[in-house]
Amino acid sequence: MYATRALRQAAAHAQRTPSIRFLGPRTIPSSIDHTPKPHPASPDGKLPASFVSNSPSRHSSFSSYRDHAQQHGPLQKSIRYSEANGVGGSSGSALGSVAAPAGMYFDTSELPARFRRAPIELEEIEAVESGGAALFG
Amino acid sequence: MLASRLIPRYTVRPVVAKSTLPKVVSAPALSQWSRAYSASSDEKDLVIIGGGVAGYVAAIKAGQEGLKVACIEKRGVLGGTCLNVGCIPSKSLLNNSHLYHQILHDTKNRGIEVGDVKLNLANLMKAKETSVSGLTKGIEFLFKKNGVEYIKGEGSFVNEHEIKVALNEGGETSVKGKNILIATGSEATPFPGLEIDEKRVITSTGALSLEKIPESMLVIGGGIIGLEMASVWSRLGTKVTVVEFLGQIGGPGMDTEVSKTIQKLLKKQGLDFKLNTKVLSGDASGEKVQLTVDSVKGGKEETLDAETVLVAIGRRPYTAGLGLENIGLETDERGRVIIDSEYRTKHPHIRSVGDVTFGPMLAHKAEEEAVAAIEHIKKGHGHVNYAAIPSVMYTHPEVAWVGQSEQDLKNQNIPYRVGTFPFSANSRAKTNLDTDGLVKMLADPETDRLLGVHIVGPNAGEMIAEGTLALEYGASSEDIARTCHAHPTLAEAFKEAAMATHGKAIHF
């Protein structure tokens, strides 16, 4: 009788389930909500309105958007204008010459002839069109 | 088809020797005239501003994750406040001053007779500097090992993707980043009306490198930093008085019972305390620095003076010169960078971790956040459990805690069960003749889940790791009580406190 009770107690003891459980290797959840939420240590548990992503008020103008936008690197302005005056606020002469500096070209067609694509000769056209047969004709 | 492949190339395109090609337009010049369609070569995946614990850990982790990373640090050495003027040098002084104090006062009863004991302050400081320089150089090595570009200079935002760096060696450079991490840390909060000269009116930085032992010292603020520095100089012979606004020392996070215990023990070591006392003004014009203090309730105004005044009223986020205004980034009323749960500011590619943002200003919290922030960038998922961040005060005995304190639970009307175990009943503490303190555990009365652990005693800072792990895993006090602990160790006190929480301790 006593032995049975002792055995039962031992069995109950062996079956005690610890509250620490083995969870296995961690995995990154398949879907994560990335919308801004208050930081757990934030004193008031709130986020300012400016945290709402893609808010249209983030940029006051297209020019301001373009200053900050990224497309594999920042989009750069070609003309520097003073913030105070805005576009057109400065005289044309103050902006400097619109010509490309020496050694710079807007388009490959403006390059000296030796740097352009070599003109295709009639023989080459014929060779291409005949699949090379014209070379042996 | 075969014939077409036999066409000699020169018939299609004349060969032009490369050397004859002039430099038509250089890449950077071209970008002024056309959109750049690929990332410029100097654009980093991540630019980190600040090479302190948050910044350097993030940099190393980012390097390990394969990100192209640059870390900007203006101090000239890595490691930030923690390594240079915080945790590390203070631990060196605490450890060595404790040894000195022990040799002076605690050897005879151990059967050790010591002759003339002298203190060499210069060498004490040298030992501290050796520890610091070894560790900071170690981080530079880790930067190289993990491919982190280290830029020595002061960084400030030009726009949301570009940071201008005023280089320490002179000149300026700029660096662009797809992601940016603000980890600029914190600085000691000054006391209004008292100018810090780091000689007579000092912060923790000055307290780590005083050139002579002051006769007397007033410490404004009885938090962890104030008490650690008070301990160092008190052990070296300074008469120290701590003035604290609150009714307890150790800051508001420390359990009241633990706070009272450590206050008693520190008082026994020679420290004086003035609690519930506010400092009205300070005057450093005379031979001694004077403080006018009053009780918080008023009516007990008095003047205290000392050779040195340590201002230890807390730390504030450091964002000076960062150019946050250039990118429209706001801080809260205490100067902290506002972030969301993924450490993002309102510009999602700019994140912030460490002392400069929310949460306790602790190096280990900054490290956790740094790793989590990089994981958010790289994997889209990271995690820090703010409910299981330990705090440690490295006085002797040490004080350490994790989770909720008894007054926290009372304030929130959360029921709890408490179990304590004194080190005076622990065999190892007895053999060490170091029996001051206790372990206190708080657990849920129904589920037995651990809610908090509070330790004051020898090696508490190491022992709290077990409590933090238990809390992180959601252990019950019974789980700890049924885990075998080696004998004789101080850690047995931890087990016995768990036994006392769950049922009854054996040795008390």
How confident is the prediction along chain B (508 residues), in pLDDT tens digits per residue? 344 444 444 334 444 444 444 444 343 433 333 333 333 457 999 999 999 999 999 999 999 999 999 999 999 999 999 999 999 999 999 999 999 999 999 999 999 999 999 999 999 999 999 999 999 999 999 999 999 999 999 999 999 999 999 999 999 999 999 999 999 999 999 999 999 999 999 999 999 999 999 999 999 999 999 999 999 999 999 999 999 999 999 988 899 999 999 999 999 999 999 999 999 999 999 999 999 999 999 999 999 999 999 999 999 999 999 999 999 998 999 999 999 999 999 999 999 999 999 999 999 999 999 999 999 999 999 999 999 999 999 999 999 999 999 999 999 999 999 999 999 999 999 999 999 999 999 999 999 999 999 999 999 999 999 999 999 999 999 999 999 999 999 999 999 999 999 999 999 9
Show the tokens assigned to B96: 């060595």
Contacts of A68 in chain B (CB under 8 A): 159-161
Rounded CA separation B449/A18 (Å): 11
Show the tokens assigned to B313: 């009223």
Rounded CA separation B256/B268 (Å): 18
Q: How far is CA B221 from the centre of its chain?
A: 18
**In this predicted structure, what is the pLDDT of residue B470?**
97
Mean pLDDT throughout A55-71? 62
* B487 has catalytic annotation: yes
Which chain B residue has the Cα nearest residue A21? B473
Show the tokens assigned to B282: 């300070």
Return the C-alpha torsion angle B126, B131, B135, B136, nearest 10.
-20
Rounded CA separation A22/B5 (Å): 65
Which chain B residue has the Cα nearest residue A106? B33
Contacts of B328 in chain A (CB under 8 A): 50
Beta strand B216-220 with B239-243: parallel, antiparallel or unpaired? parallel
Contacts of A110 in chain B (CB under 8 A): none
**In this predicted structure, what is the pLDDT of residue A65?**
67
Rounded CA separation A16/A12 (Å): 6
Q: Radius of gyration over alpha carbons of chain A, in Å?
A: 37
At B204, which helix (H) or strand (E)?
helix B204-207
**E strand spans, B81-215:** 148-157, 162-167, 172-182, 186-188, 201-202
Rounded CA separation B345/B157 (Å): 14
**In this predicted structure, what is the pLDDT of residue B307?**
97
Q: How many residues does chain B have?
A: 508
Which chain B residue has the Cα nearest residue A120? B12
Show the tokens assigned to B476: 């019950």
Query: What is the distance in angstroms between the Cα of B448 and the nearest Cα belonging to chain A?
Result: 9
pLDDT digits (tens, 9 = 90+) for B443-463: 999 999 999 999 999 999 999
Which among A32, A47, A114 has the least Cβ separation from residue B381?
A32
Nearest to B205 by CA among B216, B218, B189: B189
Q: For residue B80, what are the contacts with CB-CB under 8 A and spacing of at least 6?
A: B50, B51, B52, B53, B54, B55, B56, B73, B86, B185
List own/partner pairs for A8-13 with CB under 8 A and 24 or more apart: none
Which chain B residue has the Cα nearest residue A23? B473
Asked if the Cβ–Cβ distance from B33 to A28 is below 8 Å, we say no
Spot the catalytic one: B364, B487, B502, B507. B487
Which among B160, B348, B381 has the least Cβ separation from residue A28?
B381
Q: How confident is the model at residue A78 (pLDDT cuts 50, 70, 90)?
A: very low
Between B151 and A62, the higher pLDDT residue: B151
A118 touches chain B (CB under 8 A): yes
Rounded CA separation B253/B248 (Å): 10
A29 touches chain B (CB under 8 A): yes
Q: What angle do CA A35, B324, B36 make, to 5 degrees?
A: 75
Q: For residue B364, what are the contacts with CB-CB under 8 A and spacing of at least 6?
A: B389, B390
Mean pLDDT throughout A80-102? 66
The CA-atom distances, in angstroms, between B27 and each of A89, A112, B270 are: 30, 19, 70
User: Is the distance from CB of B487 to CB of B507 less than 8 angstroms?
Assistant: no
Rounded CA separation B93/B392 (Å): 16
Model ipTM value: 0.80
Provide the β-strand partners of residue A22. none
A26 touches chain B (CB under 8 A): no
Which residue matches tokens 């403080």? B291
User: Is the distance from CB of B453 to CB of B467 less than 8 angstroms?
Assistant: yes
Report helix, strand or coil for A61: coil
Q: How confident is the model at residue A49 (pLDDT cuts 50, 70, 90)?
A: confident
Query: What is the distance in angstroms between the Cα of B60 and the nearest Cα belonging to chain A?
Result: 21
Which among B31, B33, B341 has the least Cβ separation from residue A40?
B341
Nearest to B218 by CA among B143, B132, B312, B339: B312
Rounded CA separation B493/B505 (Å): 9
User: Is the distance from CB of B55 to CB of B158 less than 8 angstroms?
Assistant: no
Nearest to B129 by CA among B57, B237, B209: B209
**In this predicted structure, what is the pLDDT of residue A24?**
83
pLDDT digits (tens, 9 = 90+) for A3-41: 566 556 666 566 667 777 777 888 888 888 888 899 999
pLDDT digits (tens, 9 = 90+) for B151-201: 999 999 999 999 999 999 999 999 999 999 999 999 999 999 999 999 999
Q: Up-side HSE of residue A75: CA atoms within 13 Å toward CB?
A: 10
A28 touches chain B (CB under 8 A): yes
Is the sign of the CA dihedral A117, A119, A124, A129 positive or negative?
positive
User: Is the distance from CB of B499 to CB of B481 less than 8 angstroms?
Assistant: yes
Which among B14, B32, B386 has the least Cβ separation from residue A78?
B32
Show the tokens assigned to A23: 């969870």
Query: What is the distance in angstroms between the Cα of A130 and the nearest Cα belonging to chain B?
Result: 9
A63 phi/psi in degrees, rounded to 5: -60, -40
Rounded CA separation B227/B241 (Å): 10
A95 touches chain B (CB under 8 A): no
Got the DSSP string for B449-460?
BEEEEEEEETTH
Rounded CA separation B156/B388 (Å): 34
pLDDT at A54 over 80: no
Which residue matches tokens 């203070």? B90
User: Is the distance from CB of A37 to CB of B340 less than 8 angstroms?
Assistant: yes
Give chain A's count of helices (H) and strands (E): 3, 0
